[in-house]
């Protein structure tokens, strides 16, 4: 079982306000909520701003379901780095007698997992993951590589929490850049600044900082230190609820990790390809806006409503 992280007093109070206002809808499981109409209006409005900003780079658009073949997370070493966050999909694999026993146990809310077998699917933990094998299948990339807008698919992270900004299932608006190392590094630096400006344009006090991923175990702590030392990950931070600002967007420079795994190369004298991704946490940004401007978007400042088209 994943460790439950209780929210602090401010986070707990904010969650109660969101539920009372029907902006979030309780499911009975921490970190899993339905979204009310007002919440979705704001989420879609900011998502549209990201689309408009990305359109300046004329990206290729892709869309994927929120499930992956489990071999994908095996290939990239996800279970080594983040075994505590992964979500796999199981399904019934038995006969009629076992089905009846499973039903009886389920009705009594007892353990019925022995009748379930792992399928070939897992829940998608990062919206960029399906992009790399899809691009690799095309063969060598021409000069300049490719930028992919992978949309705002649901992703899953198994970290139940009482903090409304730490969800188990949320929309990650992902943009991926693949190309020559210098091209990818320049793109990341450009979008780091652009994302901060995007958030500040809607009245959020955003800043960026070097960060690391939540790697697992002792070896993971070494990986995290190395990632920070090389400045391979940046986060854009905004105050939502609680004592510390929350990351609402992140940039990961993978260097040749995904290109090496899937064989992505450039059609040039130097075939080396690097990858980087930018992910906006759409629910966190929506929560930040609600926290900064109030729970009624119709009463927000005129300039903010104008920027979002509300």
Separation of alpha carbons 24 and 35, rounded Å: 5
pTM: 0.93
Q: What is the CA 280 to chain-centroid distance, rounded?
A: 7
* Phi, then psi, of 198 in degrees rounded to 5: -60, -45
Note whether 284 and 240 are within 8 A (CB): yes
Other Cβ atoms less than 10 A from the Cβ of 103: the count is: 12
Q: Where are the beta strands (DSSP E) in 160-293?
A: 169-179, 207-210, 233-238, 246-255, 274-281
pLDDT tier, 277 (very low <50, low <70, confident <90, very high otherwise): very high
Residue 57 class from Cβ within 10 Å (0-12 exposed, 13-18 middle, 19+ buried)? middle
Give the pair of three-digit tokens for residue 195: 């994302």
**Cα-trace Rg, the chain:** 21
Separation of alpha carbons 63 and 127, rounded Å: 9
Structural domains of the chain in order of their starting residue, each with its CATH number: 9-72+125-308 (3.30.930.10), 88-124 (no CATH)
Percent of the chain with pLDDT over 90: 82
pLDDT tens for residues 170-229?
A: 999 999 999 999 999 999 999 988 999 999 999 999 998 877 667 666 666 766 676 566
Separation of alpha carbons 20 and 290, rounded Å: 14
Summary mean pLDDT of the chain: 92
Separation of alpha carbons 60 and 150, rounded Å: 8
pLDDT in the model for residue 198: 96
Mean pLDDT of 125-148: 96
Separation of alpha carbons 151 and 199, rounded Å: 18
Strand order in the sheet with 169-179: 60-61, 146-156, 169-179, 274-281, 246-255, 233-238, 207-210
Separation of alpha carbons 153 and 135, rounded Å: 18
Residue with tokens 């602090």: 8
Q: Is the pLDDT of residue 294 over 60?
A: yes
């Amino acid at each position: 079982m994943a460790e439950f992280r209780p929210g602090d007093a401010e986070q707990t109070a904010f969650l109660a306000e969101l539920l009372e206002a029907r902006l979030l809808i309780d499911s009975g499981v921490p970190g899993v909520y339905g979204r009310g109409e007002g919440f979705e209006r704001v989420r879609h409005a900011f998502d549209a701003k990201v689309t408009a900003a990305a359109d300046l780079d004329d990206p290729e658009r892709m869309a994927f379901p929120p499930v992956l073949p489990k071999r994908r997370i095996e290939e990239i070493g996800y279970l080594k780095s983040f075994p505590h966050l992964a979500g796999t999909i199981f399904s019934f694999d038995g006969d009629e007698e076992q089905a009846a026993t499973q039903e009886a146990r389920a009705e009594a809310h007892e353990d019925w997992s022995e009748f379930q077998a792992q399928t070939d699917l897992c829940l998608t933990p990062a919206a960029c993951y399906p992009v790399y094998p899809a691009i690799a299948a095309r063969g060598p990339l021409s000069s300049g590589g490719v930028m992919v807008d992978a949309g705002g698919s649901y992703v899953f992270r198994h970290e139940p929490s009482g903090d409304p900004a730490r969800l188990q299932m949320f929309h990650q608006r992902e943009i991926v850049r693949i190309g020559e190392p210098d091209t990818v590094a320049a793109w990341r630096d450009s979008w780091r600044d652009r994302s901060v400006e995007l958030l500040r344009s809607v009245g959020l006090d955003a800043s960026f900082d070097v960060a690391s991923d939540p790697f697992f175990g002792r070896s993971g702590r070494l990986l995290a230190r190395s990632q920070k030392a090389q400045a391979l990950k940046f986060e854009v931070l905004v105050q939502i609820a609680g004592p510390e600002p929350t990351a609402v967007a992140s940039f990961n420079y993978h260097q040749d990790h995904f290109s090496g795994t899937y064989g992505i190369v450039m059609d040039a004298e130097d075939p080396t390809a690097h990858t980087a991704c930018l992910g906006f946490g759409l629910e966190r940004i929506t929560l930040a806006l609600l926290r900064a401007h109030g729970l009624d978007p119709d009463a927000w400042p005129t300039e903010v409503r104008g920027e979002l088209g509300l």
